[in-house]
Structure 1
Amino acid sequence: MRHRCKVPLLGLPADQRKALLRGLTTHLLREGEITTTKARAKAVRSTADKIITLAKDGSLSARRKALAYVYDKDLVNDVFAKAQERYGSRNGGYTRLIRTKSRRGDNSEMAILQLI
């Protein structure tokens, strides 16, 4: 029974799921867009929005929280430097989810996740 369980499990144990989300979030912040399954994209969207919200805050504690989650230290510095001018007037919704055609091998729904 999964009533009121908000965490998307993605068919993985907790440690592997957290590592996957950290890796996909890092790649999204570095490249600006990723192509992955729709379920993974929806899970990454919330973590990426939280990192960008921390970057808009810009305080030392917010920077340390972001460094604890994102794998690349230089990437965190870049995100914190550019977040205020890029997302200063936005109150959320920093990502865009575009559905694409299904994957050929297993017919899973694919999506492109982009930073706005």
Structure 2
Amino acid sequence: MRHKHGYRKLNRTSSHRSALLKNLAISLIQHEKIETTLPKAKELRSYVEKLVTKARVADFNSHRAIFAVLQDKEATKKLINEVAPKYVGRNGGYTSIIKTRIRRGDATQMAFISFV
């Protein structure tokens, strides 16, 4: 049983799952709105919100910590310089998930995830 289990496995190994979340986070930071499946969007929400919380401090240590997670210079710069300053006075809830459609190929619920 998975009572109070902490995360969704998304039918992937741990390394594949971490790479998936990293790439989704980079895409979300670059485009500020992406469409993905609902379970992926729900997992991405907690992943990205932790990064935004770190980025709100905007010092050298937070820059290094975020780059260590994302491994992308442009996304790190955009997150720290453009995205995070919008949420300095906000305690969490930086993203919103909007259900959109059911994908035709496999009947999966799709959703938009974007910054508020």
TM band (smaller chain): over 0.9
> What RMSD in Å do the two structures reach over aligned CA positions?
1.3
User: How many aligned positions are there?
Assistant: 116
Partner of 2:110: 110
CA distance in 2: counterparts of 1:78 and 1:17, whole angstroms: 24
Instruction: Identify the residue that residue 41 of structure 1 maps to in structure 2.
Output: 41
| Structure 2: gaps (5+ residues) | none
Contact 1:26 1:71 in 2 (8 A): no
Does structure 1 conserve the Cα–Cα contact (< 8 Å) formed by 2:10 and 2:17?
yes
Residues 52 and 84 in structure 2, CA contact (< 8 A), matched pair in contact too? no
Q: Structure 2 matches for 1:91-110, cutoff 5 A? A: 91-110=91-110
Structure 1 84/44 Cα, relative in aligned 2: closer, same or farther at 3 Å?
Answer: closer
| Identical-pair percentage | 34
Q: Is the CA contact 2:26–2:72 (under 8 Å) kept in the aligned structure 1?
A: yes
Q: Which secondary structure does the structure 1 equivalent of 2:17 belong to? A: helix
Give unpaired runs (5+ residues) of structure 1: none
TM-score (norm 2): 0.93
- After superposition, residues 1-116 of structure 1 pair within 5 angstroms as 1-116=1-116
Q: Which moved more, 1:58-67 or 1:13-22?
A: 58-67
State the distance in 2 between where 1:33 and 1:77 align.
17
Instruction: Work out the CA distance in 1 between the residues paired with 2:2 and 2:85.
Output: 41
Moved more, 49-58 or 37-46: 49-58
Structure 1 stretch displaced more, 84-93 or 18-27:
84-93
TM-score (norm 1): 0.93
Structure 1 residue 33: deviation in Å? 0.7
